[in-house]
Amino acid sequence: MNIGDVADLSGLPAKTIRYYEDIGLVEPLRSSNGYRSFRQSDVHKLAFLARARALGFTIEDCRSLLKLYADTDRASAEVKQIAEEHLDRIDSKIAELTEMRATLSHLVDACAGDHRPDCPILADLAMEQKAGSISKASG
């Protein structure tokens, strides 16, 4: 199977598949004309990668997961740990974004958004650290 077919099947761009080969995630064969030749197992692996990436696992996570997937004797605990760590990262990110959202939404609501120059958003951004003791206290 050529890269275009595999791209269609896995949902990954051909560029990305080549990249995944570069970094050693897949190792397709080569045809005599130099074209990459993908086996069914390669397609399966790429679909696995597409799914894991869509769930936000990093490439290095994916590498670990693929190893664990290939090892039929692995303990599910190992996989679960990777997933739980990822879940924690997701939770942190959501919390961070939610806080940003709250602040920003507050500012947006406070801004008239008209032709006049007064803008609470800029005012907040420009807010000076009056006390001086605020910013670098516990860095």
Q: For binding to its own copies (CB under 8 A), which residues are involved?
A: 8-11, 44, 47-48, 51-52, 54-56, 65, 68-69, 72-77, 79-81, 83-84, 86-87, 90-91, 93-94, 97-98, 100-101, 103-105, 107-108, 111-119, 121-122, 124-129, 132, 135-136, 139
- Please state, in angstroms and rounded to a whole number, the distance separating the CA atoms of residues 36 and 135: 55
Q: Rounded to a whole number, what is the largest CA-CA distance in the chain?
A: 72
Is 19 or 27 the residue whose CB approaches DNA more closely? 19
Interacting residue ranges for DNA, rule: CB under 7 A: 2-5, 7, 13-16, 18-19, 31-36, 53, 58-60
CA atoms of 18 and 70, how far apart (whole Å): 21
Q: Would you state the structure tokens that stand for residue 102, as one six-digit string? A: 């709250």
Residue 100 binding: pick among its own copies, DNA, none (C-beta 5-8 Å cut-off by kind): its own copies
Q: How far apart are CA 87 and CA 57, in angstroms?
A: 9
111 binds, among DNA, its own copies, none (CB under 5 to 8 A by kind): its own copies
Of residues 44 and 89, the one with the C-beta less far from DNA: 89
Q: Which does 59 bind (CB under 5 to 8 A by kind): DNA, its own copies, none?
A: DNA
Torsion of CA 129, 130, 133, 137, to 10 degrees: -20
**How many other C-beta atoms can be found within 10 angstroms of the C-beta atom of residue 65?**
19
